[in-house]
Structure 1
Amino acid sequence: MVRSDARENRARILEAARAAFAEDSATSMNQVAQRAGVGAGTLYRNFPTREALVLAVYQDEVERIVGIAPELLAQMPPLEALRHWTTDLVEAMRRKHGLGDALSPSAHQAMSEQSYGPVIAAITALLDAGKKDGSIRPDADPGDFLQLTGALWRAASSPEDRAPHMLALILDGLRTHR
Protein backbone atom coordinates (compact mmCIF):
# COMPACT_ATOMS: atom_id res chain seq x y z
CA MET A 1 0.00 0.00 0.00
CA VAL A 2 1.31 3.45 -0.91
CA ARG A 3 1.81 5.81 2.02
CA SER A 4 -0.39 8.90 2.13
CA ASP A 5 2.60 11.26 1.91
CA ALA A 6 3.85 9.42 -1.19
CA ARG A 7 0.38 9.73 -2.79
CA GLU A 8 0.30 13.43 -1.90
CA ASN A 9 3.77 13.97 -3.38
CA ARG A 10 2.75 12.24 -6.59
CA ALA A 11 -0.43 14.32 -6.84
CA ARG A 12 1.53 17.55 -6.20
CA ILE A 13 4.07 16.59 -8.85
CA LEU A 14 1.35 15.87 -11.42
CA GLU A 15 -0.43 19.15 -10.64
CA ALA A 16 2.80 21.15 -10.81
CA ALA A 17 3.80 19.44 -14.07
CA ARG A 18 0.38 20.07 -15.61
CA ALA A 19 0.59 23.78 -14.80
CA ALA A 20 4.26 24.10 -15.78
CA PHE A 21 3.83 22.31 -19.11
CA ALA A 22 0.80 24.46 -19.91
CA GLU A 23 2.97 27.55 -19.49
CA ASP A 24 6.09 26.18 -21.19
CA SER A 25 6.34 22.72 -22.76
CA ALA A 26 10.15 22.89 -22.34
CA THR A 27 9.92 23.03 -18.52
CA SER A 28 12.69 20.96 -16.95
CA MET A 29 12.24 18.17 -14.44
CA ASN A 30 14.06 20.27 -11.81
CA GLN A 31 11.64 23.15 -12.37
CA VAL A 32 8.72 20.76 -11.90
CA ALA A 33 10.25 19.43 -8.66
CA GLN A 34 10.75 22.97 -7.33
CA ARG A 35 7.22 23.96 -8.27
CA ALA A 36 5.83 20.84 -6.56
CA GLY A 37 7.91 21.48 -3.44
CA VAL A 38 9.66 18.12 -3.61
CA GLY A 39 13.26 17.07 -4.05
CA ALA A 40 14.63 15.79 -7.33
CA GLY A 41 14.94 12.31 -5.81
CA THR A 42 11.22 12.21 -5.02
CA LEU A 43 10.40 13.35 -8.54
CA TYR A 44 12.66 10.77 -10.20
CA ARG A 45 11.44 7.95 -7.91
CA ASN A 46 7.92 8.63 -9.17
CA PHE A 47 8.79 9.53 -12.76
CA PRO A 48 12.21 8.26 -13.88
CA THR A 49 12.10 10.20 -17.17
CA ARG A 50 10.51 13.36 -18.49
CA GLU A 51 8.52 11.24 -20.91
CA ALA A 52 7.14 9.17 -18.02
CA LEU A 53 6.03 12.39 -16.32
CA VAL A 54 4.39 13.76 -19.47
CA LEU A 55 2.58 10.44 -20.00
CA ALA A 56 1.37 10.43 -16.38
CA VAL A 57 0.08 14.01 -16.69
CA TYR A 58 -1.78 13.04 -19.85
CA GLN A 59 -3.21 9.85 -18.32
CA ASP A 60 -4.34 11.77 -15.24
CA GLU A 61 -6.07 14.29 -17.52
CA VAL A 62 -7.85 11.53 -19.47
CA GLU A 63 -9.08 9.97 -16.23
CA ARG A 64 -10.39 13.36 -15.08
CA ILE A 65 -12.19 14.02 -18.37
CA VAL A 66 -13.70 10.54 -18.55
CA GLY A 67 -14.78 10.83 -14.91
CA ILE A 68 -16.76 14.04 -15.40
CA ALA A 69 -19.16 12.62 -18.01
CA PRO A 70 -21.56 11.12 -15.41
CA GLU A 71 -21.46 14.35 -13.38
CA LEU A 72 -22.33 16.43 -16.43
CA LEU A 73 -25.21 14.11 -17.32
CA ALA A 74 -26.56 14.46 -13.79
CA GLN A 75 -26.47 18.26 -14.06
CA MET A 76 -27.70 18.99 -17.59
CA PRO A 77 -29.43 17.58 -20.68
CA PRO A 78 -27.33 15.14 -22.76
CA LEU A 79 -26.55 17.49 -25.67
CA GLU A 80 -25.41 20.22 -23.30
CA ALA A 81 -23.38 17.68 -21.30
CA LEU A 82 -21.78 16.50 -24.54
CA ARG A 83 -20.93 20.11 -25.47
CA HIS A 84 -19.25 20.78 -22.11
CA TRP A 85 -17.45 17.44 -22.10
CA THR A 86 -16.18 17.85 -25.66
CA THR A 87 -14.94 21.38 -24.96
CA ASP A 88 -12.93 19.96 -22.04
CA LEU A 89 -11.60 17.15 -24.24
CA VAL A 90 -10.54 19.63 -26.94
CA GLU A 91 -8.59 21.71 -24.41
CA ALA A 92 -6.85 18.58 -23.12
CA MET A 93 -5.94 17.50 -26.65
CA ARG A 94 -4.51 20.92 -27.39
CA ARG A 95 -2.36 20.70 -24.27
CA LYS A 96 -1.26 17.19 -25.21
CA HIS A 97 -0.16 18.31 -28.63
CA GLY A 98 1.72 21.21 -27.10
CA LEU A 99 3.87 18.58 -25.43
CA GLY A 100 4.29 16.58 -28.62
CA ASP A 101 7.94 17.46 -29.13
CA ALA A 102 8.78 15.98 -25.75
CA LEU A 103 7.45 12.54 -26.66
CA SER A 104 8.73 9.78 -28.86
CA PRO A 105 6.46 8.28 -31.52
CA SER A 106 6.02 5.18 -29.33
CA ALA A 107 4.89 7.37 -26.42
CA HIS A 108 2.33 9.08 -28.66
CA GLN A 109 1.10 5.64 -29.69
CA ALA A 110 0.90 4.49 -26.06
CA MET A 111 -1.09 7.59 -25.11
CA SER A 112 -3.57 7.00 -27.91
CA GLU A 113 -3.99 3.32 -27.11
CA GLN A 114 -4.44 3.92 -23.35
CA SER A 115 -6.98 6.69 -23.77
CA TYR A 116 -9.08 5.42 -26.69
CA GLY A 117 -11.22 2.89 -24.77
CA PRO A 118 -12.09 5.12 -21.81
CA VAL A 119 -12.80 8.13 -24.07
CA ILE A 120 -15.06 6.05 -26.34
CA ALA A 121 -16.87 4.71 -23.25
CA ALA A 122 -17.53 8.27 -22.02
CA ILE A 123 -18.77 9.36 -25.46
CA THR A 124 -20.99 6.28 -25.61
CA ALA A 125 -22.56 7.15 -22.25
CA LEU A 126 -23.21 10.73 -23.36
CA LEU A 127 -24.67 9.69 -26.73
CA ASP A 128 -26.76 6.90 -25.18
CA ALA A 129 -28.32 9.36 -22.72
CA GLY A 130 -29.32 11.57 -25.64
CA LYS A 131 -30.65 8.65 -27.64
CA LYS A 132 -32.68 7.59 -24.62
CA ASP A 133 -34.32 11.01 -24.17
CA GLY A 134 -34.74 11.45 -27.93
CA SER A 135 -32.44 14.45 -28.30
CA ILE A 136 -29.67 12.59 -30.18
CA ARG A 137 -30.07 10.63 -33.40
CA PRO A 138 -30.22 6.87 -32.92
CA ASP A 139 -27.45 6.32 -35.50
CA ALA A 140 -24.90 8.54 -33.69
CA ASP A 141 -21.65 6.59 -33.38
CA PRO A 142 -19.00 7.25 -30.69
CA GLY A 143 -16.10 6.51 -33.07
CA ASP A 144 -17.48 8.89 -35.68
CA PHE A 145 -17.97 11.58 -33.04
CA LEU A 146 -14.39 11.19 -31.78
CA GLN A 147 -13.03 11.39 -35.31
CA LEU A 148 -15.05 14.54 -36.04
CA THR A 149 -13.92 16.20 -32.83
CA GLY A 150 -10.30 15.59 -33.82
CA ALA A 151 -10.71 18.56 -36.15
CA LEU A 152 -11.67 20.76 -33.20
CA TRP A 153 -8.35 20.60 -31.37
CA ARG A 154 -6.54 21.18 -34.65
CA ALA A 155 -8.61 24.32 -35.37
CA ALA A 156 -6.28 27.28 -35.10
CA SER A 157 -6.86 29.12 -31.86
CA SER A 158 -5.65 32.40 -33.27
CA PRO A 159 -6.73 34.90 -34.33
CA GLU A 160 -10.12 33.34 -33.66
CA ASP A 161 -10.88 29.95 -32.13
CA ARG A 162 -13.19 28.19 -34.59
CA ALA A 163 -13.70 25.14 -32.36
CA PRO A 164 -16.91 26.36 -30.61
CA HIS A 165 -18.60 27.08 -33.96
CA MET A 166 -17.44 23.77 -35.42
CA LEU A 167 -18.67 21.91 -32.32
CA ALA A 168 -22.07 23.58 -32.66
CA LEU A 169 -22.29 22.27 -36.24
CA ILE A 170 -21.32 18.74 -35.13
CA LEU A 171 -23.86 18.77 -32.30
CA ASP A 172 -26.56 20.10 -34.62
CA GLY A 173 -25.87 17.12 -36.87
CA LEU A 174 -26.41 14.78 -33.91
CA ARG A 175 -29.68 16.39 -32.89
CA THR A 176 -32.92 14.67 -33.73
CA HIS A 177 -34.99 17.02 -35.84
CA ARG A 178 -38.54 16.48 -34.75
Structure 2
Amino acid sequence: MASKRSDAKQNRAHLLAVARAMAKDGEVPSFNELAKKAEVGVGTVYRHFADQQALLAGLVEEQLEDFRVLIEHAVANEDVNAAFEELFRGAVELVVHRPLVARVLAGSKDEFRAMETKAEAVVTRAKKAKVIRPDVGVSDFKRLVCGIELAARMGPRPGEAARRYVEIVLAGIRL
Protein backbone atom coordinates (compact mmCIF):
# COMPACT_ATOMS: atom_id res chain seq x y z
CA MET A 1 0.00 0.00 0.00
CA ALA A 2 1.38 3.39 -0.99
CA SER A 3 2.13 5.92 1.73
CA LYS A 4 0.23 9.21 2.04
CA ARG A 5 3.38 11.05 1.00
CA SER A 6 3.73 8.88 -2.11
CA ASP A 7 0.07 9.40 -2.97
CA ALA A 8 0.48 13.16 -2.55
CA LYS A 9 3.48 13.18 -4.91
CA GLN A 10 1.51 11.17 -7.46
CA ASN A 11 -1.49 13.51 -7.15
CA ARG A 12 0.73 16.58 -7.61
CA ALA A 13 2.47 15.01 -10.62
CA HIS A 14 -0.92 14.12 -12.12
CA LEU A 15 -2.26 17.65 -11.57
CA LEU A 16 0.86 19.17 -13.17
CA ALA A 17 0.64 16.82 -16.16
CA VAL A 18 -3.01 17.73 -16.73
CA ALA A 19 -2.31 21.46 -16.25
CA ARG A 20 0.60 21.33 -18.74
CA ALA A 21 -1.67 19.72 -21.31
CA MET A 22 -4.26 22.44 -20.72
CA ALA A 23 -1.84 25.39 -20.69
CA LYS A 24 -1.68 27.27 -23.95
CA ASP A 25 0.44 30.30 -24.79
CA GLY A 26 1.02 31.21 -21.19
CA GLU A 27 -2.54 30.57 -20.03
CA VAL A 28 -3.01 28.38 -17.00
CA PRO A 29 -6.31 26.66 -16.30
CA SER A 30 -8.45 27.80 -13.40
CA PHE A 31 -8.45 25.52 -10.38
CA ASN A 32 -12.04 24.46 -11.16
CA GLU A 33 -11.14 23.59 -14.77
CA LEU A 34 -8.05 21.70 -13.62
CA ALA A 35 -9.98 19.74 -10.98
CA LYS A 36 -12.63 18.75 -13.51
CA LYS A 37 -10.14 17.67 -16.17
CA ALA A 38 -7.95 15.83 -13.61
CA GLU A 39 -11.06 14.19 -12.15
CA VAL A 40 -10.35 15.32 -8.60
CA GLY A 41 -12.04 17.68 -6.21
CA VAL A 42 -11.03 21.34 -6.30
CA GLY A 43 -9.85 20.95 -2.70
CA THR A 44 -7.17 18.55 -3.94
CA VAL A 45 -5.87 21.25 -6.28
CA TYR A 46 -5.79 23.79 -3.44
CA ARG A 47 -3.92 21.34 -1.19
CA HIS A 48 -1.11 21.21 -3.73
CA PHE A 49 -1.14 24.82 -4.98
CA ALA A 50 -1.96 27.80 -2.77
CA ASP A 51 -2.78 30.04 -5.74
CA GLN A 52 -2.34 30.46 -9.51
CA GLN A 53 1.23 31.68 -9.01
CA ALA A 54 2.10 28.47 -7.15
CA LEU A 55 0.57 26.41 -9.96
CA LEU A 56 2.57 28.42 -12.50
CA ALA A 57 5.75 27.84 -10.51
CA GLY A 58 5.04 24.11 -10.46
CA LEU A 59 4.48 24.06 -14.21
CA VAL A 60 7.81 25.70 -14.94
CA GLU A 61 10.08 24.21 -12.26
CA GLU A 62 12.47 22.72 -14.82
CA GLN A 63 12.54 25.84 -16.97
CA LEU A 64 13.17 27.99 -13.91
CA GLU A 65 16.18 25.82 -13.18
CA ASP A 66 17.45 26.72 -16.67
CA PHE A 67 16.98 30.38 -15.74
CA ARG A 68 18.84 29.88 -12.44
CA VAL A 69 21.77 28.34 -14.34
CA LEU A 70 21.74 31.26 -16.80
CA ILE A 71 21.87 33.75 -13.93
CA GLU A 72 24.62 31.86 -12.11
CA HIS A 73 26.71 31.80 -15.28
CA ALA A 74 26.23 35.55 -15.78
CA VAL A 75 27.15 36.24 -12.14
CA ALA A 76 30.34 34.18 -12.53
CA ASN A 77 31.32 35.78 -15.87
CA GLU A 78 34.06 38.36 -15.22
CA ASP A 79 33.39 40.14 -18.54
CA VAL A 80 30.69 42.59 -17.38
CA ASN A 81 29.41 43.41 -20.86
CA ALA A 82 29.26 39.76 -21.92
CA ALA A 83 27.59 38.79 -18.63
CA PHE A 84 24.82 41.37 -19.02
CA GLU A 85 24.21 40.57 -22.69
CA GLU A 86 24.27 36.83 -22.04
CA LEU A 87 21.71 37.18 -19.28
CA PHE A 88 19.46 39.50 -21.28
CA ARG A 89 19.60 37.45 -24.48
CA GLY A 90 19.23 34.17 -22.60
CA ALA A 91 16.27 35.41 -20.56
CA VAL A 92 14.46 36.60 -23.70
CA GLU A 93 15.19 33.33 -25.50
CA LEU A 94 13.86 31.35 -22.56
CA VAL A 95 10.60 33.27 -22.21
CA VAL A 96 9.90 33.40 -25.94
CA HIS A 97 10.05 29.63 -26.18
CA ARG A 98 8.41 29.04 -22.79
CA PRO A 99 5.71 31.69 -22.25
CA LEU A 100 4.72 30.32 -18.85
CA VAL A 101 8.17 31.34 -17.57
CA ALA A 102 7.41 34.91 -18.62
CA ARG A 103 4.21 34.80 -16.56
CA VAL A 104 6.13 33.56 -13.52
CA LEU A 105 8.84 36.20 -13.85
CA ALA A 106 6.31 38.97 -14.43
CA GLY A 107 4.47 38.05 -11.25
CA SER A 108 7.57 37.41 -9.18
CA LYS A 109 6.98 36.56 -5.52
CA ASP A 110 9.15 35.59 -2.60
CA GLU A 111 10.14 32.22 -4.09
CA PHE A 112 11.94 34.05 -6.92
CA ARG A 113 13.61 36.69 -4.78
CA ALA A 114 17.02 34.92 -4.85
CA MET A 115 17.05 34.84 -8.67
CA GLU A 116 16.01 38.46 -8.82
CA THR A 117 18.74 39.44 -6.38
CA LYS A 118 21.40 37.73 -8.51
CA ALA A 119 20.04 39.30 -11.71
CA GLU A 120 20.14 42.65 -9.93
CA ALA A 121 23.82 42.05 -9.14
CA VAL A 122 24.53 41.58 -12.87
CA VAL A 123 22.57 44.73 -13.76
CA THR A 124 24.29 46.76 -11.00
CA ARG A 125 27.72 45.57 -12.09
CA ALA A 126 26.90 46.59 -15.69
CA LYS A 127 25.82 50.05 -14.52
CA LYS A 128 28.97 50.54 -12.44
CA ALA A 129 31.13 49.49 -15.39
CA LYS A 130 29.23 51.99 -17.56
CA VAL A 131 28.06 49.22 -19.88
CA ILE A 132 24.41 50.25 -19.56
CA ARG A 133 22.58 53.43 -18.63
CA PRO A 134 22.59 54.28 -14.91
CA ASP A 135 18.79 54.47 -14.75
CA VAL A 136 18.25 50.82 -15.78
CA GLY A 137 17.25 48.63 -12.86
CA VAL A 138 16.38 44.98 -12.40
CA SER A 139 12.67 45.81 -12.60
CA ASP A 140 13.32 47.41 -16.01
CA PHE A 141 15.27 44.29 -17.00
CA LYS A 142 12.32 42.06 -16.09
CA ARG A 143 9.78 44.26 -17.85
CA LEU A 144 11.89 44.55 -20.99
CA VAL A 145 12.38 40.77 -21.15
CA CYS A 146 8.66 40.13 -20.68
CA GLY A 147 7.75 42.98 -23.06
CA ILE A 148 9.93 41.57 -25.81
CA GLU A 149 8.30 38.16 -25.32
CA LEU A 150 4.83 39.67 -25.63
CA ALA A 151 5.72 41.78 -28.68
CA ALA A 152 7.51 38.90 -30.41
CA ARG A 153 4.51 36.58 -30.01
CA MET A 154 2.30 39.04 -31.90
CA GLY A 155 3.96 38.17 -35.21
CA PRO A 156 4.42 35.04 -37.27
CA ARG A 157 8.07 34.34 -36.28
CA PRO A 158 8.48 35.06 -32.56
CA GLY A 159 12.08 33.85 -32.30
CA GLU A 160 13.26 36.04 -35.16
CA ALA A 161 11.31 39.04 -33.90
CA ALA A 162 12.67 38.59 -30.37
CA ARG A 163 16.27 38.59 -31.60
CA ARG A 164 15.60 41.82 -33.50
CA TYR A 165 13.93 43.47 -30.49
CA VAL A 166 16.82 42.43 -28.25
CA GLU A 167 19.24 44.28 -30.54
CA ILE A 168 17.03 47.38 -30.49
CA VAL A 169 16.70 47.36 -26.69
CA LEU A 170 20.39 46.69 -26.10
CA ALA A 171 21.29 49.59 -28.39
CA GLY A 172 18.95 51.80 -26.38
CA ILE A 173 20.28 50.92 -22.92
CA ARG A 174 24.00 50.77 -23.69
CA LEU A 175 26.21 53.74 -22.96
Question: TM-score normalized by structure 1?
Answer: 0.57
Quote how far apart the aligned CAs of 1:45 are: 1.7
Answer yes or no: is the 8 Å Cα contact 1:14–1:56 preserved in 2: no
1:173 corresponding residue in structure 2 = 172
Q: Partners of 2:163 and 2:24 in 1: how far apart?
A: 21
Matches within 5 A, 1:101-120: 112=107, 114=109, 118=113, 120=116
Q: Of residues 7, 10, 22 in structure 1, which corresponds to 2:9?
A: 7
Match of 2:154 in 1: 157
- Structure 2 distance, partners of 1:160, 1:126, is 30
Q: Which amino acid aligns with 2:122?
A: L
After superposition, the CA RMSD in angstroms is: 4.4
Distance 1:10 1:120, change over 3 A: same
Q: Determine whether 1:45 maps to 2:44.
A: yes
2:34 maps to which residue? 29
User: 2: distance between equivalents of 1:81 and 1:57?
Assistant: 25
Say yes or no: does 1:144 pair with 2:150: no
1:88 aligned partner: 94
Identity of counterpart residues, as a percentage? Answer: 19
> Per the alignment, do residues 32 and 56 of structure 1 end up closer, same or farther by CA in structure 2, a change over 3 Å counting?
farther
1:166, distance to aligned residue in structure 2 (A): 1.0
Alignment correspondent of 1:107: none
Offset at 1:142?
Answer: 1.3
| Counterparts in 2 of 1:163 and 1:157: CA distance versus 1, 3 Å | same
State the distance in 1 between where 2:14 and 2:48 align: 17
1:17 to partner: Cα distance: 0.9
**CA contact 1:69–1:122 (8 Å) conserved in 2:** no
- Say whether the 8 Å CA contact 1:136–1:175 is kept in structure 2: yes
SS at match of 2:143: helix
- Structure 2's unaligned 5+ residue stretches are none
Stretches of structure 1 lacking an aligned partner (at least 5 in a row): 34-38, 98-110
Task: Name the TM-score, length of structure 2 as normaliser.
Answer: 0.57
Which letter maps to 1:87? E
Q: Is the 8 A contact 1:153 1:163 kept in 2?
A: yes
Q: Tell me whether 146-155 or 113-122 shows the greater mean CA deviation.
A: 113-122
In the alignment, which of 121, 125, 132 is matched to residue 117 of structure 2? 121
* C-alpha separation in 1, matches of 2:57 and 2:5: 21
Contact 2:88 2:145 in 1 (8 A): no
Distance 1:16 1:175 in 2: 43
Task: Give runs of ≥4 in structure 1 deviating > 6 Å.
Answer: 48-51
Tell me: CA distance 1:117–1:25, structure 2 relative to 1, closer, same or farther (3 Å): closer
Deviation at 1:74, TM superposition (A): 7.0
